[in-house]
Homo-oligomer: A and B are copies of this chain.
């Protein structure tokens, strides 16, 4: 999942510079130079983080910061303040108003990106690898939660580990032996056929639709080779 960043800045050349660097690093960027609009966008676009210049039109950055903190919808939105002022007093005021970090112009875009990553690493572990996703299946490893198309999927511990392994290597085919090593552990002795059974349990849980019907099977059986997580169902190949 790409993180979305709201950039509130009215210096056009700086906007370009920062946007370029953020997008190069894989962030989605939403931009505005206006304080009022920033508040609206923060609500509507649901960014994962806000970069906020101190000096912007209509509302000062610090006022925007204060209002973002006050509104329940954005109270927890991470904010990185940006400013030309090097004053210690200003920096402290910014941090005390609720900013998570503070950078003084001129700054290096790379450092900005590094700081943004540091903040996001903390607040959205999901954006940093705690979350896995493939073809509608989402797994939050820290919350130990799996959903398919938004609906919660109930899995036993072994099925959970099995699915995690597949999500970590989507598309790749694993033999039963490899799956036993990776999911059960290298020193455990269980029948290879046992893998089949857990694959079946995993399929049953993941492919169960809301009304009891079957969804597309995302686990592909590769005859005499093993299994893989795969987005192209057999039916689609036939139909095509």
Contact = CB atoms under 8 A, between A and B. Distances in A.
B143 A114 contact: no
A161 to B, nearest CB: 10
Given A95-B114, A110-B88, A228 B156 contact: no
Given A142-B173, A143-B230, A173-B143, A237 B154 contact: yes
Contacts of A96: 114, 117
Given A110-B88, A157-B223, A223-B156, A115 B143 contact: no
A88 B157 CA distance: 41
Sorting the interface of chain A by its residue count into under 10, 10 to 19, 20 to 34 or 35 or more gives 35 or more
Given A100-B122, A232-B152, A91 B117 contact: no
A100 B116 CA distance: 10
Contacts of A122: 78, 100, 122-123
A197 interface: no
A108 B118 CA distance: 22
Contact of A118 (B99, B152, B172): B99
B100 A88 contact: no
A209 to B, nearest CB: 11
Contact of A157 (B98, B145, B225, B240): B225
Which applies to chain A's interface (DSSP): helix, strand, loop or mixed? mixed
Interface of A: 78, 88, 91-92, 95-96, 98-102, 108, 110-111, 114-115, 117-119, 121-123, 140, 142-145, 151-152, 154, 156-157, 171-173, 210, 222-225, 228, 230, 232, 237, 240
30 contacts: A78-B122, A88-B108, A91-B111, A91-B114, A92-B108, A92-B110, A92-B111, A95-B117, A95-B118, A96-B117, A98-B121, A99-B118, A100-B118, A100-B122, A101-B101, A122-B122, A122-B123, A142-B171, A142-B172, A143-B172, A143-B228, A144-B222, A144-B228, A145-B171, A145-B230, A151-B240, A154-B237, A157-B224, A157-B225, A210-B240
